[in-house]
Chain A
Amino acid sequence: MTPEDLPSLVNGNPMLRRWGRFLDADVLLAVGTEEWMLRLRDGAVESVRHGPFLMPSWTLAIRIELEAWQAFLSPEPPPGRHDLMALLRGRELRLEGNLHPFMSHLLWFKAALATLRSQPARAAA
């Protein structure tokens, strides 16, 4: 799945809508050389535009290496690429701009982007 699937995955999810009820931001999501502009309002992904953009204006930019993003979206993501903060720790994710919407809604951002994963990981027993 691609970031363009986010509105259908997020907007009908009552948990994400509740968590994000105060979340408003224009987020530039850059994966490798590709870019998407996510317009977030009240925890919904109101629109997604696919770049390239000549003069983008955004609240917050999330830039992720392509290989790391692909691993993040795999059904059983490997250690170090299973979480946005893990990617940050490994310097494969970079945040720019106003970080307040991101940090005040950290669980929302982690869960919303993880909806693009095809299958959840199985429990270890």
Chain B
Amino acid sequence: MMEPIRGGYMAVPLGGKLHRIYVEETGSGIPLLCLHTAGSDTRQWRGLLNDARVTQHFRCVTFDLPWHGKSSPPDGWWKEEYKLTTASYVEAILGVSDALGLDRPVVMGCSIGGRVVLELAASHGARLGGVIGLQSSSHVDPYYDTEWAHRPDVHGGEVCAGIVSGLMAPQSPENERWETLWHYMQGGPGVFRGDLHFYKAEGDLRARLEAIDTARCPVWLLTGEYDYSCSPEATRETARHIPGSDVTIMSRLGHFPMSENYEHFATFLRPVLDQIRGRAADRAAP
């Protein structure tokens, strides 16, 4: 039987160039825009997009960032080094959201996505229904040399998978952990490293947290306990600077909760989605 997920391509102008962007969606109701992690793609959200308990209330949308998955890099890509920045990331998210006509979407992102939702809440909170940051922190301290992720004498797919494999909880199902790694093994050369430019260097958002108003744009932060890249303590530290934010530390999950063990992750996500539905109902009430 076919899954309910629909996929398609659209042209979105980003950075002065037209980009061919791949989008998947399913469900109806409150728009929920989902962002994949560095060096991966929309397939990380397969569990959520196949969860009727969610899609009966939410229009779930996810897209591959330029250079990722089935989205193309821009014309002339072979002449440039890919580096994600806060500005280009925000432009891509808002560009896709506007092109799809999403009205006050809730944006849920993981890792780099969990980072950028903080900037979205700070600078565009009035346009959003809220943000959910998975494995979210305002910055991370580098702990390995990212040069290893892109050099001709090391297989990029295998080393990228090796770098992230331990970020998952050992209790997560083996097949789902390896599915998650397969996506990493398929990334383009230098793309994971280019995303890490935002995650580990340019995208330090510590100074942006004070601009977040959770009364205008609520913030939920959920972090798996086995993540040593964005640790629970890093998330708690971020939340301390966002008054009104809500933190959940998720047991027996790691850096890829929606992909490594969706069923377990859903037990933590469901109460958040219930709150979002409650707020939407309150706004709609006369």
Contacts and interface: CB of A to CB of B under 8 A. Distances in A.
B153 A104 contact: yes
B78 interface: no
B126 interface: no
Interface bracket on B: 20 to 34
A72 B95 CA distance: 44
Contacts of A123: 171-174, 261
A86 B229 CA distance: 8
Contacts of B167: 83, 85
Contact of A124 (B148, B163, B264): B264
Contact of A83 (B144, B166, B264): B166
Nearest to A19: B158
Given A77-B170, A79-B225, A85-B144, A124 B153 contact: no
A125 B166 contact: no
A111 to B, nearest CB: 9
Nearest to B227: A79
Contacts, number: 74
Contacts of A79: 169, 225-228
Contact of A110 (B166, B172, B253): B166
Interface string A24-35: 000000000000
A103 B148 contact: yes
Nearest to A83: B166
A103 B154 contact: yes
A121 B228 contact: no
Given A85-B163, A110-B166, A100 B153 contact: yes
B4 interface: no
B118 interface: no
6 contacts: A85-B163, A107-B158, A107-B162, A123-B171, A123-B261, A125-B263
